[in-house]
Amino acid sequence: MRPVRTVRNPPATTVQRWIGCAACALALAATTAALPALAKAEFASRDEAIAMVKKGVAFIKSAGKEKGYAEISNKKGQFTDRDLYLVVYGMDGTVFAHGANEKQVGRNLIDLKDVDGKPFVKERVELAQKQPSFWQEYKFTDPVTRKIEPKEMYCERLDDVVVCGGIYKH
């Protein structure tokens, strides 16, 4: 009969245990620190507004105005993200697409003013006639907080319309 050999792992020393705990703690800390970077911020950024407008312009060019405006006006579509949505105005102030309020589509808002009396649609149209892209500031109701907030709107002219997407300054 052969003797059975038993192989045992030697017991871990205190130092080895501490090294193992430290390694686990570091891994957990690194993972936890990375989580906020992986999650989207609560509100959209200037860079996200620019990217969304460019994406909207490209979509209108490729899909055509009818499909493009319909998708932009779809609250659950690809052009609505948190407090960021697109709006398309004609050069006379008529709304062709609105990502937050489709009831505005077809309305001429050239005389619309913010709470401070600023005719922001008129200003937007005038800026679009002079520049291919621009930022504009005014005050508007944030669809997430439902509060009137300072807003920055990034706009790009596309033929006879201006495509805009804005962020709120919280």
pLDDT-based confidence at 145, cuts 50/70/90?
confident
CA pair distance 44, 166, nearest whole angstrom: 8
- Please state, in angstroms and rounded to a whole number, the distance separating the CA atoms of residues 83 and 100: 9
pLDDT at 139 over 80: yes
Give the mean pLDDT of 43-66: 96
**pLDDT at residue number 33:** 44
Amino acid 128: pLDDT: 97
For residue 140, is pLDDT > 70? yes
**CATH number of the domain at 46-168, out of 3.40.50.11540, 3.40.640.10, 3.10.20.30, 3.30.450.20?**
3.30.450.20
Kindly report, residue by residue over 43-54, the tens digit of the pLDDT: 889 999 999 999
**Sequence-separated contacts (24+) of 111-114 with Cβ below 8 Å:** 114/138, 114/139, 114/140
